[in-house]
């Protein structure tokens, strides 16, 4: 296939890309294939950036009335999937320090989207869970996203819809493994 998927060691050339993927080790391809491969990647890059812009603008409009930022929403969505998360689990999931995660949780707590409690077995351990108000916000935003995706999918044939899902699932699985 021409693409070498071996992981490279950390070198200046192997820094993570925008998507967190290591793209440092690519096998050479014949020139015409390389040019076409690059053109396709550039075209996909443009499409992805434009789609992200559209989705982020729409998400901004949806989140603005509730005074919720993107990181806060992503945390609410994670909490909506789990019953309870510890502060250290939140910090790890969000890629923050525990102090930064605590600030994030405090803002959500002030908006009544989450509640904090101490664990019974260890009062130093802080547990965070989403409130009904927080779950309602997450469900509303997700329903909006599903509706928008259904509008987009209506422009595709059933085979294209399945292919899109298969491709995105494969990309998602790859990104989760990194």
Domain stops at, among 48, 66, 84: 66
Same-domain check for residues 88 and 127: yes
Of residues 122 and 90, the one with the higher pLDDT is: 90
Average pLDDT, the chain: 83
Range of the domain at 59: 1-66
CA distance 35 to 29: 9
Same-domain check for residues 163 and 83: yes
pLDDT band at 2 (very low <50, low <70, confident <90, very high): very low
Same-domain check for residues 42 and 95: no
Q: What is the dihedral of CA 13, 19, 20, 24, to 10 degrees?
A: -30
Same-domain check for residues 104 and 171: yes
**Ranges 12-26, 109-123, 132-146, 161-175: which has the least confidence:** 12-26
Same-domain check for residues 94 and 156: yes
Same-domain check for residues 38 and 105: no
Same-domain check for residues 58 and 107: no
What letters, b where the CB count within 10 A reaches 16 and e where it falls short, cover 147-174? Answer: eeeeeeeeeeeeeeeeeeeeeeeeeeee
Contacts of 71 (CB under 8 A, 6+ apart): 94, 104
pLDDT at 15 > cutoff 80? no
Instruction: Taking residues 161-167, report their average pLDDT.
Output: 95
Write the pLDDT tens digit of every residue in 134-149: 999 999 999 988 998 9
Same-domain check for residues 143 and 85: yes
For 122, phi and psi rounded to 5 degrees? -150, 100
pLDDT at 56 > cutoff 70? yes
Same-domain check for residues 99 and 28: no
pLDDT given at position 104: 92
Same-domain check for residues 93 and 164: yes
Same-domain check for residues 4 and 52: yes
pTM assigned to the model: 0.69
CA distance 59 to 112: 20
pLDDT at 22 > cutoff 60? no
CA distance 128 to 90: 9
Q: How many domains does the chain have?
A: 2
Domain stops at, among 21, 42, 66: 66
Domain stops at, among 32, 66, 100: 66
Instruction: Taking residues 42-63, report their average pLDDT.
Output: 87
CA distance 104 to 98: 10
């Amino acid at each position: 296939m021409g693409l070498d998927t071996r992981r490279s060691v950390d070198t200046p050339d192997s820094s993570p890309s925008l998507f967190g993927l290591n793209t440092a080790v690519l096998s050479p391809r014949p020139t015409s294939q390389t040019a076409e491969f690059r053109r396709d990647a550039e075209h996909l890059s443009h499409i992805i950036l434009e789609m992200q812009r559209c989705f982020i603008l729409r998400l901004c409009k949806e989140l603005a009335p509730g005074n919720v930022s993107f990181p806060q929403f992503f945390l609410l969505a994670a909490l909506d999937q789990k019953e309870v998360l510890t502060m250290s689990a939140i910090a790890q999931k969000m890629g923050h320090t525990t102090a930064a995660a605590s600030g994030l949780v405090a803002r959500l707590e002030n908006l009544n989207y989450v509640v904090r409690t101490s664990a019974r077995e260890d009062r130093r351990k802080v547990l965070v869970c989403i409130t009904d108000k927080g779950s309602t916000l997450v469900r509303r935003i997700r329903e909006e996203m599903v509706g928008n995706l259904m509008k987009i999918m209506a422009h595709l044939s059933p085979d294209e819809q399945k292919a899109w899902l298969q491709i995105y699932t494969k990309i998602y699985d790859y990104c989760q493994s990194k």
